[in-house]
Structure 1
């Protein structure tokens, strides 16, 4: 090939690379999203398709989340053949539901058949029963049966999450038999890491990593290379417990068994990573009382999930207000008490929130159990005592110095001692409540992430006001 031809090819490749980089930089920028919106507004489906076609499936999913609800449905209709399983799998739950409702049942069924069973179930599980049946009616009998079987299990259990697509073989085969079997059968999953070994009743008795099979001689029996020690997941196990097992035992995949111990599916680590992220975010939002906290959540649902906790906070705040009212006479005699009371309550509340967050996480990770509750409680009380002593020393000295010239030496020192003692007591109370409240809720089979913050805040606020004002009266600061 001539040198000029090589130069031309290199120039063309460089230009293409620059254009691709430029396209990458401009993807999903406000100007691009606006162009898609204008095309949809003008009902120019061809133009919308042309704009979206070059995008990666994950970028298409992000584009849907950036558009208004009406635009999402219009775009789904305009690019129906681009709505692959990869796009649907990347969509936010609320956005996915909108998309599925906008597409005809046949189109949704076609997408579902492209997906692994767990993703297909996620696609249609939140739809109305009538919509589910319409989609299932359009599917192949085998795919329909798998999805109906998954929907029969409770939400957020292994049965809902598992993939039915797996490779299982009897233990009497040789390594060569397994290799030949995998080469001859096109219907096997496209991606897998382990082969499950089963007995004549289809009970899993071991696993064999693909790397072991590839490295072993063909004549070796599977029974000689398989790993008999395995972690089995019951179909009814909650997804949080499943995630804990994957983390604890460093699993890549695990067999899911029914109530009779028969192999019915598998869970893989990519599904578990999603669960861990989802559960961690969910607990953080529940602790704040923000519900699901999804920006795509309908306004009515967001209102309903948040307002009930605001009402609960209103009721618990009334406890603190009542305490302040009861000590109204003391506050009138020494107004500075009104200024310092919220400081004691606020610091106690922050200390309680810290301990509560640690406790809720420990419960979720199965690190805080009946066997070590007393030890953890004693640990947090000691941490609270150290924190309380430090903060008490700082605020006691600060109050005494600030009010020394205003109230006089004796009163200022007494006030510093009172607020220091109140701070220690309230932070100790916060440490105890931060562990006790989540544990109590957990023992009552309630989610500690949901209601802990309301009760812990009520305890630390009311105790802060009560202890500080009571000590002020008992010390003789006020009559």
Structure 2
């Protein structure tokens, strides 16, 4: 960093050092310092003449930002509207309704959310005194959105933020903790199975069929989990609609469970010649699919409420719940109905 700063001329060095003074992954690091602005009392003709006189305009910009005498942004005008309006029209009359400012210390993921939520093309960045210090454009915000999406997908898979260039030791260190968590959850599921050793010993068919229930529950839970984590990341899932989403996922689990219960009931009957095994398989499937829909939504919401990244931690908990409930429901019903 020092080597690069030393290579810059004084003016550029000041600008870069100023940017480095802002928190990492904040609007101050993301923004562009080159801003096209005009006094708010100008009319369209003055603004156009000003732009034509400038020789060092940014290579790409979308708005002309209006400022008051204290350098505080009060609105902005799109270039299309600027060129299509009569010269005598005051700039404030054609300012966009979508105008909003971004604090210089705002996390960049919140900046990207604002661009996505409010359909912004560019937005001025202000300091603690609301003075204009830079501008963020949609292409910068979209890069952040892509990075956040990729990061969430990596975390859902339990591999953190690793890349292909990481060493073997770094990659192992990053994946080991979550593999250890998965081992612990697998042991818990095995303890549930061990409770029904006698039942399994008498009916070998149970050992053949019980992974089906757990596997289907795990897949259904992952589906609900992915939808919930994405909705949390985009702030579409809020306290006002969380119960509606939970109810929807539970009902989806119930309907899917009933459909596959019908299929597996016939499989159990025709494969092993026992209608009771078919009923056990069907009931366990319905129960586990409902629990999967519930767990896949509630667990990430709960983790987010207590300050834990739901993309990173939800998968292990949801898998544990669906495995434990799946094995317990299937083997418990089998013990009750067959014995």
TM-score band w.r.t. shorter chain: over 0.9
Structure 2 residue corresponding to 1:447, chosen from 291, 309, 316: 309
Deviations 1:237-287 (A, max 9, x none): 222322222122222111112222211111111112212222212111111
> In the alignment, is residue 134 of structure 1 matched against residue 6 of structure 2?
no
Instruction: Show the counterpart of 2:222.
Output: 353
- Alpha-carbon distance between aligned partners in 2 of 1:169 and 1:297, rounded to the nearest angstrom: 48
Instruction: Show the counterpart of 1:460.
Output: 322
Structure 2 residue corresponding to 1:231, chosen from 90, 100, 105: 100
Instruction: Show the counterpart of 1:51.
Output: none
Instruction: Show the counterpart of 1:314.
Output: 183
Instruction: Show the counterpart of 1:421.
Output: 283
- Alpha-carbon distance between aligned partners in 2 of 1:378 and 1:215, rounded to the nearest angstrom: 50
- Alpha-carbon distance between aligned partners in 2 of 1:358 and 1:223, rounded to the nearest angstrom: 42
How do residues 278-427 of structure 1 correspond to structure 2 at under 5 angstroms?
278-404=147-273, 412-427=274-289
CA RMSD of aligned residues (A): 1.7
- Alpha-carbon distance between aligned partners in 2 of 1:380 and 1:228, rounded to the nearest angstrom: 37
CA 229–352 in structure 1, closer or farther in 2 if over 3 Å, else same: closer
SS of the residue 1:200 aligns to: coil
CA 314–227 in structure 1, closer or farther in 2 if over 3 Å, else same: same
Deviation (angstroms), 1:138: 1.9
Structure 1 residue corresponding to 2:40, chosen from 146, 167, 171: 171
Deviation (angstroms), 1:228: 5.8
- Alpha-carbon distance between aligned partners in 1 of 2:97 and 2:230, rounded to the nearest angstrom: 33
Deviations 1:20-56 (A, max 9, x none): xxxxxxxxxxxxxxxxxxxxxxxxxxxxxxxxxxxxx
> In the alignment, is residue 250 of structure 1 matched against residue 112 of structure 2?
no
Which of 324-333 and 455-464 deviates more? 324-333
Q: Which runs of 5+ in 1 are unaligned?
A: 1-131, 405-411
Deviation (angstroms), 1:293: 4.5
Relative contact order, CA 8 A, sep 6+: which one is greater?
2
Matched-pair contact (CA < 8 Å) for 2:260–2:285: yes
> In the alignment, is residue 184 of structure 1 matched against residue 53 of structure 2?
yes
Q: Which runs of 5+ in 2 are unaligned?
A: none
How do residues 89-128 of structure 1 correspond to structure 2 at under 5 angstroms?
none
Matched-pair contact (CA < 8 Å) for 2:205–2:272: no
> In the alignment, is residue 433 of structure 1 matched against residue 298 of structure 2?
no
- Alpha-carbon distance between aligned partners in 2 of 1:222 and 1:425, rounded to the nearest angstrom: 63
